[in-house]
Chain A
Amino acid sequence: MKPARLFADYGMVFVLALLCALFSALTFSDQSPTGEAAATQVAKLLRQELSSPARVLIATRDQPDDVAYASALQRLLSGSGSGAQSVSVVRGEPKDAREALQQLAAKGERLDAIACTQATGAWLVFSNLQTDFPSLGGPRIVTPRSYRWPNFLKSENLLNITNQIAVIAIVAIGVSMVIITGGIDLSVGSLLALSSVLTARLIRDYAGGVSASPTAMILSSLAGIVLCGAIGAFSGVMITRFGIPPFIVTLAMMLVGSGLAYILAKGQSIYQIPESFVWLGRGADFLSIPNAVLLMAFLYGLAHLLMSRMKLGRHLYAVGGNSEAARLSGVPVRRVLLFAYVASASLAGLGGVIMASQLKSGSPTYGGMYELYVIAAVVVGGTSLAGGEGRMFGTLAGAFTIAVIQNGMNLTNVESYTQKVVLGLVILGAVLVDKTRTNR
């Protein structure tokens, strides 16, 4: 493939990589290890630098990260072959540390090292040990070493991005199909809310609320998706049988869906849902990748296969490219269009279920403006609103581009109003680039 063609097809991926590099450079900063990682590092240092057996005091604050650090370090040091003879732990404020040191001094014990975190290592109480507590024998202060690494590229942050974009990316699959046929779907945000509300309500009212069984939860979720699919089918029939423009039909369905969601939820959030319902949205069973992200990856694989290798996919492109030619070639144009709208609505329904799971509640306010973010993702991904062209992985790259820009701006402390301005301009820029490419 020629470089120009390569850039044309995967230009968005290139831009995405560039954005990632930019935000990596901008968020390059000191990282101090915490918890387990810090404990492993300090244990290694202590073993290298001290003659065994050594006596060690671990001084930390009373915080979850510090507690994890202390207990891990204690375990590592007192394990067999570690060389440490006695290990004591003090947790809390500087005055707690002073008390502990005074007690040790009073008992006449000696101390070889004090293992600290970055924060406790700077406490004043440890700054003049030679003069304050001469009897301890001048213990060394050991802290975990800091290193430099971009905040953006930390694995938690990257997982955070994927988890945040999963819903939009999944909904964008269906909307891509619709846009490839030359149509548009504005109803997905409302359908997402409707699905979340119906699912939550079925669980609360008919499946036993917080004690609902997994089967009942699955059936409730399916009901949410099927309802959305049915609304999609209705839109599809309006468009194919009665020739009403997709913009109008789905605009109407956007209002209908949102209204139904408010009616079903009586205007409130529904949160009487079992704790286990969050499995889909927050769980991470495989390689600590969130389940929602795995589902997204699976759906994109499937959609790519459909669009590139299956009859239906080719027909979607053909209908969007020249619907009369498709009809004259024997393509069942109406059925193909119907499929696109049902798929789009059903995936919006699935998005609603995932969102309900992530937030452990259903609410009619979910998915506000999502239709626009989704369309932005599709368009940024290189799909033409005129129809007939576009790639699934382009849409995925588009969704990620939007997420990365938002995340990167959060990390670099750009406030949310400016974020909107930048995002708007980026969308425009992406389409402009695409336009100059197709005009060639």
Chain B
Amino acid sequence: MIGAPPLLEMRGIVKSFPGVKALRGVDLALHAGEVLALLGENGAGKSTLMRILGGAQRADAGTLLIDGCETPFNTPQDSQAAGVAVIYQEFNLVPGLTAVENIFLGRETTRAGLIDKRSERERARKLFERLGADIDLDTPCRRLSTAQQQLVEIAKALAFDARILVMDEPSAALTAHEVGRLFEIIRDLRSQKISIIYISHRLDEVFEITDRVTVLRDGLNVGDRPTASITRAEMIQLMVGRKLTREFPQRTTIPGPTRLEVSGLRHGRAVCDVSFSVGRGEILALTGLVGAGRTETMRLLFGADPREAGEIRLDGRLLSIGSPSDAIAAGIGFLTEDRKTQGLVLAHSVLENFALPNLQRLSHQGFVRERSARDEFSRYVKQLQIAIPSEEQRAGNLSGGNQQKVVLAKWLARHCELLIFDEPTRGIDVGAKFEIYLLMNELVAAGKSIIMISSELPEVLGMADRILVMHEGRITGEIADPRSATQEQIMRLAIA
């Protein structure tokens, strides 16, 4: 390899989104015929980097070189022309088109203006043969299994002789057997001098299939080693790396007796037999990687999705929760991760948002008692220190922290005893985070119970009384004393 320029080189890639600097000058090199693992925590910038490589997004700054020559990557067409194929996490197949039509989409073979269906079918058949795939050429892709769809994506990449294949979490939705098959294909492609960038959270897979490891953290390349010369612990340390920079408010209260008991919760493959309990005045953190089944578990608890099995008890009483309104009536409140789409009606005023779940109580003979709604809301504005110029303020124009507080006020007015916070501080700036933490402490001090879903390990360690770690729909570990635990410990459980 020495001497020859790498097949692909990304230099100083920068990409910002409103409020977030996702990539802060990433360098990355890929050599011919190697499988490179791209590692990093959620939000480290892996997916953004790969979207830039695929031409789906444009970098704000930086250059890309193919065989040492600077090459434009402004559009998907540029990327294809450079021999790069990206298989995104959410597959990019057109559901109504067949496997053949998807493989040649955008590069149809035509003869005299008409699509040459026969030659396309023939080529698709040969590609599937090469991949050892048994896929009906005429079935619309929406009817194919996840593994089959992935094979169609790989065939699509091979159809235009891609030299670089990016796979973003390809094993996430596959069974163990299918993953084995995928690895055979990857080895086969490597022997044909096709280079592969492999993104995965499963370190076992990284050791099994990759030649080299590159770790991203906070939008920077923080490590680049041959897979053979790095240990599991080193990988995790590189991924987590940062020091605790945020402070968490001190809490003196001690959790009381058990209030909520959940046992045997199940829903498909997303949630498998999950049991846990929460005590009075306790903050229970539920952590793990994105897609581990944390939110899904909470949605079952809240009645937002139907559960296949499982019992929910509050204060020893068996609850029959079939819908969110049942859960609300039982005193459970859910502060969703995505406040913008699930928590607030952005076009309405904060007062209207506040009143919405409380209308039953705040109205008399069908008319909303505007006055009492206003009075009650202003109490919460004071208590939660919501910074709003007026009650007529549109919810969409508030900062993330204040939006979160309005949502919280909504639930507090319902006298919820158990509050579920899904990523409570995502998209909220540091100062406002501290206020949210303070509020959470006040709530538990007042005897309420909190379940907090969070991917931010420092937050989990700093706030929780107890930590549950999930991986692929199961609880893989419990940390009873977060004060003496480390991020590495959690990461090990999360990667399982």
Contact = CB atoms under 8 A, between A and B. Distances in A.
Interface string B68-80: 0000000111001
A326 interface: yes
Contact of A322 (B75, B92, B110): B92
A35 interface: no
Interface stretch (A121-129, A307-315, A394-402): A307-315
B94 A318 contact: yes
Interface of B: 54-56, 75-77, 80, 86, 88, 91-97, 101-102, 105-108, 110, 113-115, 117, 156
Contacts of B76: 327-330
What are the 7 closest A-B residue pairs judged by CB atoms, nearest first? A330-B106, A321-B94, A325-B92, A329-B106, A388-B96, A329-B105, A321-B96
Given A328-B76, A330-B80, A311 B108 contact: yes
A311 B96 contact: no
A320 B105 CA distance: 13
A305 B102 CA distance: 19
Nearest to A321: B94
A68 to B, nearest CB: 50
Given A310-B113, A311-B115, A330 B96 contact: no
A325 B114 contact: no
Contact of A310 (B54, B107, B114): B114
B94 A325 contact: yes
B116 to A, nearest CB: 9
Contact of B97 (A310, A311, A318, A327): A318
> Which of A324, A327, A328: most chain B Cβ within 10 A?
A328
A317 interface: yes
A314 B80 CA distance: 19
Summarize A's interface: helix, strand, loop or mixed. helix
B96 A389 contact: yes
Interface in A39-81: none
Given A317-B97, A324-B92, A331 B114 contact: no
Given A309-B115, A311-B115, A330 B107 contact: yes
A314 B114 contact: no
Interface in A283-318: 305, 309-311, 314-315, 317-318
A317 to B, nearest CB: 6
A325 B106 CA distance: 10
A321 B95 contact: yes
A311 B110 contact: yes
A202 B436 CA distance: 71
A328 B96 contact: no
B94 to A, nearest CB: 4
Nearest to A313: B115
B95 A331 contact: no
> Which of B55, B94, B107: most chain A Cβ within 10 A?
B94
Given A318-B101, A328-B88, 9 more contacts: A311-B115, A314-B101, A314-B108, A321-B95, A321-B96, A321-B97, A326-B105, A326-B106, A329-B106
A388 B94 contact: yes
A305 B96 CA distance: 18
Contacts of A305: 114
Contacts of A315: 105-106
Contact of B54 (A321, A322, A328, A331): A328
A331 B156 CA distance: 14
